[in-house]
Amino acid sequence: MRILLIEDDEALGQALLEALGDAGYVAEWVRRGDDAAEMALDAAYDLALLDLGLPRMDGIEVLRHIRQRRDAYLPVIIITARDRPAHRIAGLDAGADDYVVKPFDPDELIARIRSQLRRRDGRGSNIISVRAVDLDLAGATVRLNGEPVAMSARELKVLTLLMRRAGRFVSKEDVNAAIYDDSADIESNTVEVAVSVIRRKLGRDFIVTARGLGYTVPK
């Protein structure tokens, strides 16, 4: 299990890194909010511990970024000195799974990590299967008839959206929105290009286009 430790306090970060290691977890420590927001998108992480007062980007912003941008669900436990109910509410509303106030007992934190990982496993498989294609959201991998198929990040986003809504049409605008955070510099044929590459890799009929309706992955 890999844990992303997001904490700018040197002493606490060091102590947590050791406690996580002792508990058998592989932990990577990042101190800046903006770096954390990028690293957390890596599907290899199973859980994140998130401080709120961080340089460059506040922890709440980091959390919103993760919830908007990451396909596979990442359990996030906030670790913070902000102990007012309004702070807890803001953290939970932004998508935190748990909220632990400093100072805390490292053993209790480890127990809460175990609990979150159990719950995540209980959410069931992270694999979406449609016909001969298996998409593993956690590992961000695609298999066709059991054989791995390489996909770019953009192709994966398009494929994930269409497979999640398999059997229903998705408009080109919605596919575009899934690729980009905002409308900046969208090239008009980006979606078409991604869809055509996916078809080449997974078979022509895997994605069906209908004029005026958009795209669908038939079940």
Contact in structure between 134 and 127 (CB atoms under 8 Å): yes
Q: Which is nearer to Ca ion, 31 or 154 (CB)?
A: 31
Of 140, 130, 129, the residue nearest 218 (C-alpha) = 130
Q: Which is nearer to Ca ion, 81 or 132 (CB)?
A: 81
Report the nearest approach of Ca ion to the CB of residue 16 (Å): 12
Q: Which is nearer to Ca ion, 8 or 42 (CB)?
A: 8
Report the nearest approach of Ca ion to the CB of residue 80 (Å): 8
Give the Cα separation of 38 and 30 in Å (integer): 11
Residue nearest to Ca ion (CB): 53
Q: Which is nearer to Ca ion, 61 or 192 (CB)?
A: 61
Report the nearest approach of Ca ion to the CB of residue 51 (Å): 4
CA distances from 94 to 97, 116, 158 (A): 10, 17, 25
Helices (H) and strands (E) in the chain, counts: 8, 11
Report the nearest approach of Ca ion to the CB of residue 7 (Å): 7
Give the Cα separation of 186 and 179 in Å (integer): 9
Q: Which is nearer to Ca ion, 53 or 203 (CB)?
A: 53
Report the nearest approach of Ca ion to the CB of residue 12 (Å): 8
3-state SS assignment for residue 189: coil
Q: Which is nearer to Ca ion, 8 or 38 (CB)?
A: 8
140: which residues sit within 8 A by CB, 6+ positions away? 43, 71, 72, 156
Please give the DSSP secondary-structure letter assigned to residue 45.
Answer: -
**Counting beta carbons within 10 angstroms of the beta carbon of residue 169, is it exposed (0 to 12), middle (13 to 18) or buried (19 or more)?**
middle
| Residues in touch with Ca ion (CB under 5 A) | 8, 51, 53
Report the nearest approach of Ca ion to the CB of residue 42 (Å): 22
